[in-house]
């Protein structure tokens, strides 16, 4: 089976996520000896924000994939374009007990579940170190700048729970190949969304657990793991993203900051920023 993962995450090895993709394949096949998985997702080769591309990836041609990890901001377009379909008996039922509440809402459309959440994301800020960026940038920043100290994190006003569902990544199945490959697809989804693998993904199992990506798994149980609870940053992020209001109203506190991508005309445009994480920086007005 063919899988296309969401590519806009910290590429700590600077290899187009090759080491992570190889690790996903290795672990998926170790856990399921009867399936063979091809995992793609080089951020330099795939653009998952163009609907025409998604029509190809979720189509029936040679470049199609059986499972694609997408940003659910595009879920409505995928549904109305007839590229994905709800599963009346999902292998991983999405509910408020197993998943963060915002992630549950993010994969539903017209009352039906169309995907399984993997990651959530929103803009976070550190008051003392003047750091403002998408949560998934933390790992990259700490990995590349040993002198950066992120002492505290809080969600700016645009980080409330109602806004979080715009920034949830999820696995969706290709309706063209689902029936023929249903067993393999369900086994991969079960593996990829398991708490154990979410830990390996966040804590860089592909790099011998030498660093942390600080991505935010959508599975609630991840934040109750002992190592996660003991991690200072993860404990703060958990408090922000597991509350109903996204951490409170910090309008005045963060009013003096803006995100600058370095590209004229693209300031404060979320989708653009997510695709250009490396250029994020904070400027005081």
Band of the pLDDT at 131, cuts 50, 70, 90?
low
Task: Output 149 or 161, whichever has higher pLDDT.
Answer: 149
pLDDT at 61: 94
pLDDT band of residue 256 (cuts 50, 70, 90) is: very low
Model pLDDT, residue 139: 67
Chain-wide mean pLDDT for the chain? 76
Q: What percent of the chain clears pLDDT 70, i.e. is strictly above it? A: 67
Asked if pLDDT for residue 125 goes beyond 70, the answer is no
Categorize the per-residue pLDDT at 233 as very low, low, confident or very high, splitting at 50, 70 and 90: confident
Is residue 34 pLDDT above 50, yes or no? Answer: yes
| pLDDT at res. 138 | 66
| CA 54/CA 70 separation, integer angstroms | 9
Q: Residue 189 and residue 172: Cα distance in Å, rounded?
A: 9
- Chain segment 103-114, per-residue pLDDT in tens: 888 898 888 899
pLDDT at 160 over 70: no
H helix or E strand, kind and range, residue 126: strand 123-126
Per-residue model confidence (pLDDT) at position 243: 54
pLDDT band at 86 (very low <50, low <70, confident <90, very high): confident
Mean pLDDT of 39-52: 93
- Per DSSP, helices labelled H in the chain are 18-31, 51-57, 75-80, 101-106, 137-144, 161-164, 182-192, 195-202, 226-229, 232-241, 270-274
Task: Give the model's confidence band at 204: pLDDT under 50 very low, under 70 low, under 90 confident, else very high.
Answer: very high
Nearest 5°: the CA angle 54, 280, 210 is 85
C-beta pairs of 61-66 under 8 Å, 24+ apart in sequence = 64/2, 64/174, 64/176, 64/177, 65/2, 65/3, 65/4, 65/40, 65/174, 66/1, 66/2, 66/3, 66/173, 66/174, 66/177, 66/178, 66/181, 66/184, 66/185
Q: Tell me, what's the pLDDT at 117? A: 94
Tell me what pLDDT residue 216 has. 86
Lowest mean pLDDT among 85-89, 137-141, 207-211, 277-281: 277-281
Say if CB 242 and CB 41 are below 8 A apart: no
pTM to 2 decimals? 0.78
- Measured in degrees and rounded to the nearest 5, phi and psi for residue 140 equal -65, -45
């Amino acid at each position: 089976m063919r899988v296309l993962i969401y590519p806009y995450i910290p590429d700590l090895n600077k290899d187009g996520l090759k080491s992570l993709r190889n690790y996903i394949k290795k672990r998926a096949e170790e856990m399921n000896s009867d399936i063979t998985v091809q995992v793609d997702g080089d951020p330099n080769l795939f653009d998952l924000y163009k609907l025409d591309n998604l029509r190809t990836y979720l189509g029936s041609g040679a470049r199609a994939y059986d499972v694609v990890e997408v940003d659910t901001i595009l879920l409505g377009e995928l549904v109305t374009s007839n590229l994905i379909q709800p599963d009346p008996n999902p292998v991983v039922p999405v509910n408020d007990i197993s998943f963060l509440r915002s992630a549950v809402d993010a994969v539903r459309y017209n009352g039906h579940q169309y995907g399984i959440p993997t990651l959530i994301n929103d803009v976070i800020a550190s008051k003392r170190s003047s750091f403002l960026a998408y949560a998934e940038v933390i790992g990259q920043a700490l990995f590349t700048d040993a002198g950066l100290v992120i002492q505290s994190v809080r969600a700016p006003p645009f980080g409330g729970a109602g806004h979080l569902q715009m920034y949830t990544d999820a696995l969706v199945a290709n309706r063209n190949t689902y029936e023929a490959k249903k067993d393999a697809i369900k086994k991969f989804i079960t593996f990829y969304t398991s708490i154990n693998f979410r830990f390996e993904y966040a804590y860089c199992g592909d790099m011998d657990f030498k660093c942390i990506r600080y991505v935010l798994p959508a599975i609630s149980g991840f934040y109750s793991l002992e190592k996660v609870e003991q991690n200072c940053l993860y404990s703060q992020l958990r408090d922000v993203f597991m509350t109903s209001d996204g951490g409170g109203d910090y309008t005045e506190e963060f009013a003096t900051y803006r995100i600058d991508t370095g590209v004229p005309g693209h300031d404060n445009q979320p989708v653009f920023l997510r695709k250009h994480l490396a250029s994020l920086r904070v400027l005081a007005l």
